[in-house]
Amino acid sequence: MDFLNAIVAFSNYVLVPGAAYGAQLALGALGVTLIYGILRFSNFAHGDTMAFGTAMTIIITNGLLALGITFGPLPTALLALPFGIAATCLLVLFTDKLVYKFYRKQKAAPVILVIVSMGVMFIMNGVVRFVIGVRDIRFTDGERFIISARDFKEMTGLKEGLAIKTTQGITVVVAIFVVIVLFWFLNKTRTGKSMRAFSDNEDLALLSGINPEKVVMVTWMIVAALATTAGVLYGLDKSFKAFTYFQLLLPIFASAIVGGLGSPLGAIAGGFVIAFSEVTITYAFKKVLVYLMPDSLEPTGLVQLLSTDYKFAVSFTILIIVLLFKPTGLFKGKSV
């Protein structure tokens, strides 16, 4: 019984939140990795693209709610998501035309594009603050829990409860759906195959008649969809704040690099590696160990390896370790 309690406590505090966070990071990292694969630069504006998409979705959600439209037990934001994606698509395509295209034509060095993306980051950050302000916004509605801690305790008779929030469930389901669609697209459709060809060898792809502008356009649209979805899921699960999204940049990049930049599969693996290590290392294990250890050995402290504020340090340390020992990431990524 104690053993079961320990497992439930561990799932409640580490596994479930870790899985949801991992799915969010994975979606974000997929966007970063696609841009890196096709456009060949690290996009620093990615966090702010996520913030923009989420801001748009929140505005549309509010509009829907004002019209009296809800999504039953699910958050209304899911209904608004496609519109948010469309708005973000327009923004990134517009940015590409106005900003990035010039440097692509010039064949500018990747590092110049990174600096350009810093400028885009500033502008998007300003736009998001302009549109929605800097406040902390919660926009989750509908059922709060798939299963609440109390129901779980009553059902199983265990001392520990396992709560699964609706948003956590949705995050994982949506993420799986998105990843399946993405991989189907990349592997089975003509456009997807031309994207992979372009990513593997640009010159060869150009020789075989692939239209680079079309590939780039499709990439930006996919990235907009991924970024908005990741942003909305993160916002539903926690809350929306422009600055938090900017800070997500670090774990997202860490995920993409740990997995291997340019490798979609790696981005997903990286997302979960980073998320679980952050949650595990900053979790106070006392609650779990209380059940596993005999009474005499019960821990007195919290048995927390590092305080929660050091979660950046965790993602970063993993990043450094991977870079030092396996520079191309867990799944063979590119190196420019």
Partner 1 sequence: MTISLRNVLLVVGVAALYILEGSTTFWIFSGSWDSALKMLNFALIGAIMSLGVNLQWGFAGLFNIGIMGFVALGGLATVLVAMPTTPGAWSAGGWQILAGLAMGAITIVGAVKMYAYLPKGWLRNLMTFALIAVGFFAFRAVFDGGVAGVEAINPAATGYLGGLNWGGENYKDYGWLTVVAWPIGGVLAAGAAWIIGKTALGLRSDYLAIATLGIAEIIIAVMKNEDWLSRGVKNVNGLPRPVPYEIDLQNDLGFVERAASWGLDPTSASTLYTKMGYAILFTVFLVALLWLAQRALNSPWGRMMRAIRDNEVAAEAMGKNVTARHLQIFILGSAICGIAGAMMTTLDSQLTPTAYQPLRFTFLIWVMVIVGGSGNNFGAVLGGFLIWWLWVMVEPLGLWIAEITTAGFDPDHWFRIRMEDAAAHFRLFTMGLVLLLVLRFSPRGLMPEK
Whole-angstrom Cα distance, residue 255 to residue 265? 11
Apex 313 CA angle, 287 and 281, nearest 5: 20
Stretch that binds partner 1, among 79-87, 127-135, 186-194, 286-294 (CB under 8 A): 127-135
Nearer to partner 1, 172 or 249 (CB): 249
310 binds partner 1 (CB under 8 A): yes
Stretch that binds partner 1, among 52-60, 66-74, 106-114, 156-164 (CB under 8 A): 106-114
- Provide the token pair at 336: 């420019």
Element (H, E) at 146: strand 145-147
DSSP state of 255: H
| Beta carbon of residue 254, minimum distance to partner 1 (angstroms, whole number) | 7
Nearer to partner 1, 3 or 325 (CB): 325
90 binds partner 1 (CB under 8 A): no
76 binds partner 1 (CB under 8 A): no
DSSP state of 294: -
Nearer to partner 1, 197 or 323 (CB): 323
223 binds partner 1 (CB under 8 A): no
Q: What is the dihedral of CA 124, 126, 127, 133, to 10 degrees?
A: 130
Q: What x/- string results for residues 254 through 293 when contact with partner 1 is judged by CB under 8 A?
A: x--x---x--------------------------------
Residue in 72, 105, 130, 203 binding partner 1, rule: CB under 8 A: 130
30, 267 Cβ separation under 8 angstroms = yes
Beta bridge partners of 71: 74
# residues contacting partner 1 (CB under 8 A): 47
Residue given tokens 């060949």 in the structure block: 40
CA-wise closest residue to 243 among 55, 93, 104, 56? 55
243 sits in the region (left: phi over 0; alpha: psi -120 to 50; else beta) called alpha
63 binds partner 1 (CB under 8 A): no
- Provide the token pair at 181: 């669609």
Residue in 59, 137, 158, 323 binding partner 1, rule: CB under 8 A: 323
| Beta carbon of residue 296, minimum distance to partner 1 (angstroms, whole number) | 19
Output the CA–CA distances (angstroms, integers) from residue 161 to 59, 166, 323, in the order listed: 35, 16, 39
| Beta carbon of residue 281, minimum distance to partner 1 (angstroms, whole number) | 11
278, 251 Cβ separation under 8 angstroms = yes
Residue in 7, 14, 59, 127 binding partner 1, rule: CB under 8 A: 127
* Residue ranges in contact with partner 1 by CB under 8 A: 41-42, 99, 102, 110-112, 114-116, 118-127, 129-130, 133-134, 246-247, 249-250, 253-254, 257, 261, 305, 307, 309-310, 312-313, 315-316, 319-320, 323-324, 327, 335-336
